[in-house]
Amino acid sequence: MNLKTSVSIFTALLVIPGCSSPENRESQKPTITATTSIIADVVRNITGDKVNVISIMGAGVDPHLYKASQGDVQLLQEANMVIYNGLHLEGKMSEVLEKLSHGKTVVAVSDGIDKKFVRTINSDANVYDPHIWFDMKIWREGVQYISGEIQSKFPEIATEVDSCTRNYLHQIDSVQTACEQLIAELDTQKRILITSHDAFEYFGRRFGFTVRGLQGISTLSESGLKDVTDMVNYIITNKVKSVFVENSVPQKALRSVIDGCNAKGWDVKVGGELFSDALGANGTAEGTYLGMVEFNVRTIVKGLK
Ligand SMILES: [Zn+2]
C-alpha cells in the first residue's frame, strides 16, 4: 500500500456516526476528567456524546513535568470519574491523584495492561516505561479496560459506550495495519529512531526500530555533555540521516547534537516534529490519538528513507 492509500483509509475512519462528541459542556451528562490530551481523546471516542470530557493538560504539554494548578484540582474534584495514564507518567500529580482516589472513581489506563507487556526500566525499583500508547496492540487493552470501568460506573450509557468502544478498537486495528504497511517501505537497517526523550521504545519494539532518546524515559533528567557526545558518535557511526524533535520537549539539546554532527562533517537533519506525550492542536489530524500515531509514522518513514 502506498502513502496516499493509507492516508485515505485513515481519513475515512474518522467519520463514525453516533460516536463523535460535541465540544460543549452539558450539565446533565456525567463528566470524566482525563489527565492528558491523549487519554481525553480516547475517552471522547469511546463514550460518543454521552459524557463531558475534560483534559487537564492541553496540546503540547509535557506530562512528566506537569503540576496540577488549583483550577485543575477543582476540575478533578468536580468530575464524576478521573482517568489517568499511570506508571508514573504524571509524576508530579501522583499525590493529587492518590488523594482523589479515596472519594472518587480514579482509573489508570495502565492497570488494564498485563504487566508482562509493560517495559521495565529498573525492575528492582518497579520503574516502568509509561509511554504505552505507542504500542497500539497493548494500548487497546487499556482502552477496553477503561471502557469497562466507564460502563460499570455509568450503566445508563453502557450500551452506547460498548458500541463506540467496539468501533474505536476497530479503528485502532486499521491504523495499526496502515502503519505496518507504511513502515514496510523502510529498509530494516534504516530503522533507527533518535528523538529528544525516550518516548518511542514501545513503538520501536512493535515496529523493529532501534530507539535512542537523548534525555531518557522522563524529561525530568536533563541531558549532559557526555550524552550529546555519545549521541553524535552513535549517529555518525550508524550513518543516521535524520533525528526527530518532539512537540512536548524543548529542541535545544537535540539541536546541539545536530551541531556536533555537522562539526564532524556528518550532515544530519531534523526529520520533522513527532507528537510524543501530547496531541497536536485541536482540529488537526495530529489533534487525535490515531491521527498523531499515523502522522508520526509518516514523518519517521519520510525522514529515514
Ligand atoms: Zn515522555
Least confident of 53-62, 124-133, 233-242, 260-269: 124-133
Residue 115 pLDDT exceeds 80: yes
**Residue 5 Cα, ligand 1 centroid: separation in angstroms?**
31
**Residue 254 Cα, ligand 1 centroid: separation in angstroms?**
15
Residue 15 pLDDT exceeds 60: no
pLDDT at residue number 222: 72
pLDDT at residue number 20: 60
Q: How far apart are CA 301 and CA 241, in angstroms?
A: 11
Provide mean pLDDT across the span 122-135: 88
pLDDT at residue number 215: 85
Q: Report domain extents, the chain.
A: 14-163, 187-304
Q: How far apart are CA 54 and CA 293, in angstroms?
A: 21
The CATH number of 187-304 is 3.40.50.1980
**Residue 85 Cα, ligand 1 centroid: separation in angstroms?**
11
Provide mean pLDDT across the span 193-199: 93
**Residue 50 Cα, ligand 1 centroid: separation in angstroms?**
30
C-alpha neighbours within 13 Å on the C-beta side of residue 44? 21
Which three three-digit cell numbers place residue 258? 545536530
pLDDT (tens digit per residue) in 203-262: 999 999 999 998 877 777 777 788 899 999 999 999 999 999 999 888 888 999 999 999
* Per-position DSSP letters for 90-145, written without gaps between them: TGGGHHHHHHHTTTSEEEEGGGGS-GGGSPEEETTTTEE---GGGSHHHHHHHHHH
pLDDT at residue number 5: 45
Bridge-partner residues for 33, per DSSP? 54, 82
Query: CB-based contacts of 262: which residues, under 8 Å, 6+ apart?
Result: 268
Residue 19 pLDDT exceeds 80: no
Q: What percent of the chain has pLDDT over 90?
A: 81
On whether the CB atoms of residues 207 and 191 are closer than 8 A, the answer is: yes
**Residue 285 Cα, ligand 1 centroid: separation in angstroms?**
21
**Residue 199 Cα, ligand 1 centroid: separation in angstroms?**
5
Q: How far apart are CA 274 and CA 286, in angstroms?
A: 10
Residue 269 pLDDT exceeds 90: yes
Element (H, E) at 273: strand 269-274
pLDDT at residue number 16: 54
**Residue 103 Cα, ligand 1 centroid: separation in angstroms?**
29
**Residue 164 Cα, ligand 1 centroid: separation in angstroms?**
28
- Tell which residue, 121, 157, 134, 132, has the closest CA to residue 46: 157
Query: CB-based contacts of 255: which residues, under 8 Å, 6+ apart?
Result: none
**Residue 262 Cα, ligand 1 centroid: separation in angstroms?**
27
**Residue 89 Cα, ligand 1 centroid: separation in angstroms?**
7
Give the angle subtended at the CA of 240 by the CAs of 238 and 246, to the nearest 5°: 130
Provide mean pLDDT across the span 21-36: 78
pTM of the full structure: 0.90
**Residue 117 Cα, ligand 1 centroid: separation in angstroms?**
18
**Residue 248 Cα, ligand 1 centroid: separation in angstroms?**
8
pLDDT at residue number 224: 79
CA dihedral 225, 119, 204, 132 (to 10 degrees): -100
Q: How far apart are CA 196 and CA 252, in angstroms?
A: 9
Provide mean pLDDT across the span 79-93: 97
**Residue 118 Cα, ligand 1 centroid: separation in angstroms?**
15
pLDDT at residue number 4: 45
**Residue 219 Cα, ligand 1 centroid: separation in angstroms?**
6
Domain with residues 14-163, CATH architecture: 3-Layer(aba) Sandwich (3.40)
On whether the CB atoms of residues 170 and 66 are closer than 8 A, the answer is: no
